[in-house]
Structure 1
């Protein structure tokens, strides 16, 4: 870290922002294989919470790689840095009093644990979007699995690069079984049970 950098406390606290928003702030960390439904669920949930008047935002893996992380590839080291940066950005959203949903494969448990440590258990909700590899390949809306199977995409999670399923996620939603609406409702129920939202 560079010298001569001093943390500057904000004049408006996270608690004040949460009080104005009338809900707690947290990160909903959607993790799972490509094609499991992370972005679909995160955006469906975001729409529902937004319509209810909550302060929300979605950080999507592909979208973030168009800007903030457009200098990163898909090696293990680049994936680690990708998640580190997202964790720091998500932390800022939490400090701003918002519920931020992040839709990233985030294949390594250690990287997800690092983000959790930035926030603490009460503000980090790991949601494992479970889906069989075969079903993810069947969906394959981007054609990525086919390219990975043909050797056109190196370091592809689930094919030529590992995915470490969460060891103790707060919530598991199986999109091979649940509809989008059912999965979103399960997440909302969890958020209410934990009093993150009313």
Structure 2
């Protein structure tokens, strides 16, 4: 696998080895030993999630105050623009964001370490988004930062306003967020 750090060095873009021919393709979406050897990370995933969304849906920027989740994310159908924001106070990259296009065609994955906010917007007609987490979902600890926070300045590839959940419509700016 090929591992590339982003502008937030511990947010990683992972490209698994793809074996393909006229019949289709094969790839290992996750192999604990290979992941640890390539990234230096010893993670334990406890939950797998699957999200399906339509074009223009923006989910995020979500994080948990307690039980922070590391996430290994990928897309198996469609295309999304995936984003991680460093919200770890004291981090040299606090307030910075990293984004990458994930699709069924490029097979990329992104590692989002615990303690970062995460979100994505769907660029295709629909997308199936899969992710492994290092801790369990805890709705009582979940918070959201506004997707369009001007201090963060994410350059979302949008041509019109996104579709947001009511929770995400009420998300706070980073400077006002509970971290």
TM-score relative to the length of structure 2: 0.34
Bigger Rg, structure 1 or 2: 1
Say which structure is richer in helix.
Answer: 1
